[in-house]
Structure 1
Amino acid sequence: MSAMSDAGVVRYPLLAGRSLALVAITLSALNLRSAVTSVSPLLLEIGTDLGFGLEAIGIIGMLPPACFALFGVATPYVVRRFGLEQAALIGLAVTSAGVLLRSVAGNPAEFIAFSGGALGGMGIVGVVMPPLVRQYFSDRLSLVSTIYLIALHLGALVPPLVIVPLANAVGWRYAIALWAMLAILSAAMWAMARQRPATKAGKSLASTGAPAAVGVLPKQVWRSPTVWNLTILFGMTSWNVFILFTWLPTLVLDAGYAASFGGAMVSLLITTSMVIGIFAPSLTIKLRNPTAIVFGCAVLYAVGYGGLALAPQTAMVAWVILLGIGSSLFIVATTMINTHSRTPLGSAVTSSFVQGIGGGIAVLGPLTFGLIHSWTGTWGASYGLVAVSLAIIGICGFRARHHGTLEDDIERYAAHEGNA
């Protein structure tokens, strides 16, 4: 039996005609960070075997946001040609191929190139997930967004905890190749989801997946203040997340702790963000004004960074927990892709623009944070750069006082053109 929500959306049982889609979305989300975090703890060992040093490791560290940005911008053309589900399948196939091929790489260039392929596939999948959530679960956005984002965090958290013992047991090549199986399984789920006939509920909520259902980025998106504001918010949030992923172990080490403690702090950061992620999507969707959430996360970021800079030995665990809560702003910004659109088409366009352009912004975060430290010899100026990013996040939060949508902006633009 269905029920009508406040927004006028018919609600069906969660799995009505959509069980395979839910499994496919969940498994796909597990892939979105595993190709990154399954290899980072082994880079020194891999570098010894393949003959590359810290410079190559720095390049590998820049690959995730760079590939997410590049392939994110290109994804609408894949979606236009093949449809959302097929685009997810293609992205997962590319990811699995890249993961497998880099496990047999014989030199640094091959390892970097195949890693780029794996991350590029992840970039495609990351862009199509929000519109697929809206397409299949427009009546369950809060719940399914939570499932998707928790799975994304688990995909980041689990690999670094098990990859080193696994590599010790079977060698690093087999250890990193095994993660391709997850991408292959996810692709198989999307293949089955496309072929399985939908129930009445499934048909009413999910499109047929025809390629013509989604187009390339319309020119109006470049003039949408709503999407641009979300893009900058997402970019600055990702900027800080990648800074912490890249440099938190070094900051912990510089504070006098053991290297193993630095790794534990990264896991604590991800775990904290994941726990907050249980509540963040629902709260983001229900609140008409997300400003308080954005401001709150920015303040927690500021306190956490301030603790790292001024009193790292006083309460390191507390500072990292605060940074983890602040990093849940990434979950909020990702959820806002669907609150800033009304249709699967609008979600696909918004997702591509936000994750593509925003990912490009994030590329500069860990790079400039480290370069400024190298130029000045201290972390003070690097923390100053972070302060600027938090101020920008605050401005974006103020401008996001209401959940406007891309479609609203396009309609206003069309009306203005018609009156001109």
Structure 2
Amino acid sequence: MNRVTAALLAALIFLVALNLRPAIAAIGPVLTRIGDDLGWGESILGILSAMPLWAFALVSPLVRFVTARIGADRTILAALLVLAVGDVTRSFGGPAGIWLGTVAVGAGIAAGNVLVPVIAKRDYADHVSMATGVYSACITTGSAIAGLTASPLAVALGGWRPALAVWAVPPLIVALLWLMRVRRERTTVMTRPAAIAENQRVAGEPAAGKTTAGESADNPGPALSVSDHAPIEDRPLWRRPMTWYVTLFMGLQSAAFYTMSNWLPSVVVNAGFTDSVAGVHLFVFQSLGILSGLLIPALMRVRGNQVCAAMTASVPMVVAGFGWMLLPRLSLLWSVIGGMGQGAALVVALTLISLRGRTSAETVALSGMAQSIGYLLASIGPLAFGTLAELSGGWTAPLILFTALAATQCVIAVFAGRERV
């Protein structure tokens, strides 16, 4: 296989990233339609919004075991197919289908959430920050497009069900392309022990004959996340304070993003804007994350740590929270500020996972833990937001909670951004 073909196959990981948010981001603009159609209040809609995050929390730690058996590429293929099936089931599976389909959507995306950064780190080992910025931009792009088009699609196609089912098509297309990588894996001249070692290395198990300090026999060179003179950390991941800081940062930035992705249109409409304008505000909030996600890596090594980057990504969401609460008529401005923060925060969170893991195996384990517990924490955001809105009959109380979580993220950013000792 020539180098051009290999590079194109490696770049397919960015197409996978494009599919990791649309099925969720498309919900927010049609959330009111779903509630009116099914007779659901904000509390039940909050549960529906939180369910993908619960699926993330449940499935993320299991991904490493599936990958150990069938390999990373086949796991990604299965995840894309599960995502597509979930999209269709959620729309056309009847009363139970919306819940089962939402769980399937979350499960498919969870596998991608865990493996995309690991595969990107493996395939772009010399450009981790660049690869992280690009696939994060792809994640944000997919989310922004889905948020912008969800309401118009519901009008054009005659309801929220076909508007959500549309998002089964992109993962199917990418799955067909991804088959080329699976076939390449199958036909690559590799001895069975070497193939097993490679799957173990990506899945999170130590491979025989390999070093575990960031260097391997087939990939010599410095570790990605530990300096040449850094001491080896012998404690398990769950006993390291840095693991919990990274996990909390992942959870809090995810809570901010998913809360606004689901409820921002409702907040904007309540401020006196139309549904179409609310969709534009959501698009601005999500799309500006593309720019900030590409810019934030420049701050990732200020003073030798990630504190500056983490704080730069966290403070804007606090400002936006106060803005939506106190001056909702300026919602577009707060969407701009909050959007710049959320895109940068995602890149910081994913980069911290890559930098704090010494090896691919440890990175998978850290990614699974950070995303499992982190998304469980994140689910509090959209669920509590909807419940507080229904109980209080307004949006001030939920926005106070949102702003408080964003402020907590600023505190955690200082600890998570420090270089691991």
**For the superposition of Structure 1 and Structure 2, which TM-score range results when normalised by the shorter chain?**
0.7 to 0.9
Mapped to 1, the partners of 2:89 and 2:278 lie a distance apart of 30
The correspondence for 1:153, drawn from 140, 150, 159, is 140
Match of 2:199 in 1: 211
Q: Is the 8 A contact 2:120 2:128 kept in 1?
A: yes
Q: What's the counterpart of residue 35 of structure 1?
A: 23
Once residues 63 and 282 of structure 1 are traced to their aligned partners in structure 2, the CA distance between those partners, rounded to angstroms, is 35
Residues of 2 paired with 1:340 and 1:331: CA distance? Answer: 14
Structure 1 residue 359 displacement after superposition: 0.2
Provide the rounded CA distance (Å) in 2 between the counterparts of 1:306 and 1:60: 26
Letter in 1 for 2:16: S
Q: CA deviation at 1:266?
A: 0.9
Residue by residue over 1:239-298, the C-alpha shift from the partner in whole angstroms, topping out at 9 and shown as x without a partner, is 111221222222223323333322221111001112211222454367622112222333
Give the superposed CA RMSD: 3.1
Q: Which of the numbers 77, 81, 89 marks the counterpart of 1:89?
A: 77
Gaps of 5+ in 2: 207-233
User: SS of the counterpart of 1:403?
Assistant: coil
Aligned-partner SS, 1:18 = helix
Matches within 5 A, 1:303-314: 303-313=319-329
Q: Deviations over 1:295-346 (max 9, x none)?
A: 2333222222222222223x33222211112213122112221111232212
Higher alpha-carbon deviation: 149-158 or 58-67: 58-67
For 1:254, which of 270, 273, 277 is the aligned residue?
270
Cα 1:160–1:391 change in 2 (3 A) is: closer
Q: Match of 1:256, SS?
A: coil
Residue 380 of structure 2, aligned match among 361, 364, 377 = 364
2:370 paired with 1:382: no
Question: Within 1, Cα distance between the matches of 2:393 and 2:72?
Answer: 48
Aligned partner of 2:366 in structure 1 is 350
Residue matched to 1:60: 48
SS at the partner of 1:53? coil
Structure 2 counterpart of 1:316, which letter?
S
- Alignment of 1:139 onto 2:130: no
How far is the alpha carbon of 1:47 from its aligned partner? Answer: 6.0
Which residue of structure 1 lines up, in the alignment, with residue 105 of structure 2? 118
SS in 1 for 2:21: helix
- Aligned-partner residue type, residue 346 of structure 2: F
Letter in 2 for 1:181: V
Count of equivalent residues: 385
Q: Distance in 1 between matches of 2:258 and 2:132?
A: 22
Picking from 280, 283, 296, the partner of 1:267 is: 283
- Counterpart of 1:338 in structure 2 is 354
**Separation in structure 2 between the aligned mates of residue 245 and residue 14 of structure 1, nearest angstrom:** 40
- Whole-angstrom CA distance in 2 between matches of 1:15 and 1:242: 37
Aligned CA distance change for structure 1 residues 41 and 290 (closer, same or farther; 3 Å): same
Counterpart-to-counterpart distance in 2, 1:266 and 1:14: 40
CA displacement 1:92-133 (0-9 Å, x = unmatched): 121112123334323x21222122112211111111111011
**TM-score under structure 1 normalisation?**
0.82
Q: What CA distance in whole angstroms lies between the structure 1 residues aligned with 2:299 and 2:77?
A: 31
- For the residue of structure 2 that corresponds to 1:402, the secondary structure is coil
- Aligned counterpart, 2:214: none
Letter aligned with residue 392 of structure 1: T
Residue identity opposite 1:394 in structure 2: C
Q: Percent identity?
A: 27
Q: TM-score, normalised by structure 2?
A: 0.81
Secondary structure at the counterpart of residue 337 of structure 1: helix
- Distance in 2, matches of 1:308 and 1:296, equals 20
Closer, same or farther: CA 176–297 of 1 in aligned 2, 3 Å: closer
The one-letter code sitting in structure 2 at the alignment partner of 1:22 is A
2:67 aligned to which of 79, 100, 105? 79
The equivalent of 2:337 in structure 1 is 322
Asked if structure 2 preserves the Cα contact closer than 8 Å seen for 1:249 and 1:266, the reply is yes
The answer to whether the 8 A contact 1:26-1:147 is kept is yes
Kept in 2: contact 1:31–1:152 (CA 8 A): yes
Higher alpha-carbon deviation: 224-233 or 96-105: 96-105
In structure 2, give the amino acid aligned to 1:222: W
Amino acid corresponding to residue 135 of structure 1 in structure 2: R
Query: Shift of residue 170 of structure 1?
Result: 4.4
Q: Give 1:392 deviation, angstroms.
A: 2.5
CA shift for structure 1 position 375: 3.9
For 1:388 and 1:45, locate their aligned partners in 2 and report how far apart those are by CA, in whole Å: 29
User: Cα deviation per residue 1:195-215 (whole Å; 9 max; x = unaligned)?
Assistant: 3279x9xx9xxx857433323
Q: Take 1:326 and 1:259, find their aligned partners in 2: how far apart are those partners?
A: 24
CA contact (8 A) 2:52 2:105 kept: no
Could you say what secondary structure the match of 1:97 adopts?
Answer: helix
- Tell me which of 277, 293, 314 is aligned to 2:309: 293
Determine the structure 1 residue equivalent to 2:243. 227
